[in-house]
Amino acid sequence: MTNPTTESKSAEIRLTSSAFDQGASIPSVYSCEGDDVSPDLQWSGAPVTTRSYALVCEDPDAPRGTYIHWVLFNIPGDAVELNRAVPSVPELPSGARHGRNTAGDMAYAGPCPPPGNPHRYFFRLYAVDISLNLPAGITKAELEKAMNQHIVAQGTLMGTYKRDKA
């Protein structure tokens, strides 16, 4: 499948977190070694045509290929942030829905690489010009297919995480 982010020219969203800076280490509280809760995220710069947002967090450095840590979609188009510790429920009160991560859970799964070199974790936020008529529990691939030709802006925040012992 073609990468949905390259289907069309899209605007840049500024995606940040108070938990870590671009390229910096993600604090352990957001990992399997801590509370395993999602970090807060803030964004700006989405076009007025945005109807919803989708978020994917993935680790391309995982030993068996890219590991999907979080899929969340139908975040309301007027939202500008996600609070820390997004609940692990299929559908949030806002209407946002969780997709499945690589472990098969409808939840955020924090960094948990094998001991050794640090891994990179990419939080990718997509502004979409439609609300996605998809059920909770979809995969990243199903989300990408549904967003195809509907991404109007995107932003990425990358953090790293390293475990010293198993």
**pLDDT-derived band at 164, boundaries 50, 70, 90:** confident
Q: Which of 73, 43, 53, 56 is nearest to 121 (CA)?
A: 56
> In angstroms, rounded to a whole number, what is the distance separating the alpha carbons of residues 83 and 17?
10
In three-state secondary structure terms, 59 is: strand
**pLDDT-derived band at 165, boundaries 50, 70, 90:** confident
pLDDT in tens, 68-116: 999 999 999 999 999 999 999 999 999 999 999 999 999 999 999 999 9
pLDDT in tens, 115-135: 999 999 999 999 999 999 999
Average pLDDT over residues 5-21: 79
Q: Which two tokens stand for residue 116?
A: 């050794």
Supply the pTM of this predicted model: 0.93
Q: Are 98 and 88 in contact (CB under 8 A)?
A: yes
> In angstroms, rounded to a whole number, what is the distance separating the alpha carbons of residues 126 and 111?
21
